[in-house]
Structure 1
Amino acid sequence: MNSTSFRLPARRLTTAAVATALAAGPVALSGAHPAHATGDEGHASAAVLRTGLDVALLNKTVRVPLTVSLNEVEAPQSAEKTALTARLDGVDGGRPFTVLGAEVAQAKATVTASKAEASTHLARASLHVPGLPLLSLIEVEGITSTATCVAGKAPVAEANVLGAVTVLGKRVTLTAGGTTRVAVPGVGEVRLDLSKRETTTRTATATALELAVEVNPLELNVAEVTGSLTLAEATCEAPPAPVRTTTEPSAPPAADVRPQGVPAETGLAETGGSSVTPYVAGGAVALLVVGGGALSLTRRRGVGRAARR
């Protein structure tokens, strides 16, 4: 097989390389390339109510867990349900009972490429446990929680209890950053933690109320109810912050091609001259003058010889 190859001069090669880089567009010349994150994406979740109770029946010979939740969502979801019922065998004849009832019970969680956010809203709500059909464990006028995690920024957690709070029939005043204890003889004890907020560099958790429950009702064959309840919890984890790396485009130096044997000082530049050009031109003129004089002298001598003959 015959093949023919053509070699371009250095100047033409350099021009072709520049033209190729320009044709590649702005991305090839900008030097800034977004780095795609390989870690986990953002996450958000919210729950109006989450319970982890242990119900002891028949003098603690039988234990039944009460693990329920209301409006527990993970992004991208939202829920609005105002009542939650549960059924436990051995309690109130096995009939369902209302764990939580409210006028407003909302939970929302959303995640985008730059932000994860969760929120809850509970209004005019009452919470019950087995063995206390007529007495609310807790009643609240309004509670909210919000967790916001923006990529590259500090997460924010907020929780608020709005209006009055009643625990086991007693109206109480909650204090932020501490535990409130409410005890009722013959009924039990409830400890409340108000507005718990936790944040890290990428995560946030906001809980409006956490309750530790120890109830000993004397009815319905229930010996003891213990455990914890969480009201209005919102959590989030920020998406990874975008990482951009900047690199300066580098171009090879232009080739300086000269004929072999020609010193750099005497090589002609692209403009056609150099610093020694005037001297070269002057020497050429001097040679022309000397040559012309010699030619004239030779001719005169030839004429003189012809006349003497």
Structure 2
Amino acid sequence: MNTNFRTPARRWSAVAAAAVLAALSGTGSTAAHATEGDPGSASAAVLRTGLDVSLLNRTVHAPLTVSLNEVSAPQSARETALTATLDGVDGGKPFSVLRAEAADAASTVRDGRAEASAHLAAARLHVPGLPLLSVVELETVSSKAVCVAGETPKASVTLPAAVTVLGKRVRLTSGGPTDVEVPGVGSVRLDLSETKTTSGSAAATALRLDVSVNPLKLNVAEVEGTVTVAEARCSAPAVAAGAEPQGVRAEADLAETGGSSTTPYVAAGAVALLAAGGGAVALARRRVG
């Protein structure tokens, strides 16, 4: 007779105790085992060209695809000159694409921060067939992209007030593309200061040039394509465990001690269950007695 009541009562107590333990410790297990995700990325380039060079017979097209100081994290570069060669152009001799007093690119990903930057100073850009006339001359341009875990990505560009395009001094404005045309030489369209940000990435380009020139020198008929100057990109690292944004800091603190924001409510229910179990034990004892 006694056994029939004591066994269920003990089971009630065991179940209730287990519920309390689960409320106090089990709810924090997810945060305690959280792992870091994407570490983020960063890349930069001082100069990148995508040009098509047509020779005078117009039957040969030579692509001019070169870059200066193109890096991906964790890297940096400080070259200040870029040369290239093209078969059929000036006897295949090397020609200068870019020369500058300073040309730096850097990219890092560290401690929840991805950052990239590109800088160019006192630079002159040339294309085949125009060895003496610069497509563009720049004083100082730079771009920067910063992505920090849990924060809004940022992109910025620094430009001079004016540049020299095909020998013409051109004042830069933010009103849209700037077109420069020189009779007998060609035209250049400048797209200025392009920046883009999303919730998890940033990109900045100081200058993008659409080039179309017909120099008729050095066996070159036409040069067309794009030139990108000072480009920086980044993607944000994932928020690491224990480094959540401020809005969820309270939950993170509770998780570190084995609880969560729902712990008080779960614990209260478990205590009520324990009390009910205790009541069942007492009732069983009275009936036995």
The aligned runs of 1:1-309 (5 Å cut-off) are: 33=31, 35-38=34-37, 40-242=38-240, 246=260, 247-248=262-263, 250=267, 251=270, 253-254=273-274, 255-256=277-278, 257-258=281-282, 260=284, 262=286
Contact 2:161 2:171 in 1 (8 A): no
Using the size of structure 1 for normalisation, the TM-score is 0.72
Q: Distance in 2 between matches of 1:124 and 1:74?
A: 24
Give the letter for the 1:43 counterpart. S
Structure of higher CA gyration radius: 1
Cα offset, 1:263, TM superposition: 5.8
Q: Secondary structure at the match of 2:132?
A: coil
Q: Secondary structure at the match of 1:33?
A: helix
Contact 2:214 2:222 in 1 (8 A): yes
Cα offset, 1:236, TM superposition: 0.8
Where does the alignment leave 5 or more consecutive residues of structure 1 unmatched?
1-6, 268-309
Give the number of equivalent residue pairs: 250
Contact 1:142 1:163 in 2 (8 A): no
Using the size of structure 2 for normalisation, the TM-score is 0.77
Where does the alignment leave 5 or more consecutive residues of structure 2 unmatched?
1-6, 245-251
| Structure 1 residues 133 and 241: CA distance shift in structure 2, 3 A | same
Give the number of the structure whose residues are more often helix, by fraction: 2
Give the letter for the 1:213 counterpart. V
| Structure 1 residues 259 and 49: CA distance shift in structure 2, 3 A | same
Which one scores higher on RCO, CA 8 angstroms, separation ≥ 6?
2
Percent sequence identity over aligned pairs: 57
- How big is each residue's C-alpha offset from its partner over 1:23-79, in whole Å with a ceiling of 9 and x where there is no partner? xxx9878677153355x4311110000000000013311000000000000111111
Q: Distance in 2 between matches of 1:131 and 1:27?
A: 75
Q: Distance in 1 between matches of 2:25 and 2:223?
A: 65
Contact 2:216 2:222 in 1 (8 A): no
- How big is each residue's C-alpha offset from its partner over 1:161-208, in whole Å with a ceiling of 9 and x where there is no partner? 125411111110011141101111111100001111111111111000
The runs of 4+ residues in structure 1 deviating greater than 2 Å are 26-32, 34-38, 240-247, 249-255, 257-261
Cα offset, 1:261, TM superposition: 5.4
**Superposition RMSD in Å:** 3.0
2:247 aligned partner: none
- How big is each residue's C-alpha offset from its partner over 1:211-239, in whole Å with a ceiling of 9 and x where there is no partner? 00001002111010000000000011111
Q: Secondary structure at the match of 2:48?
A: strand
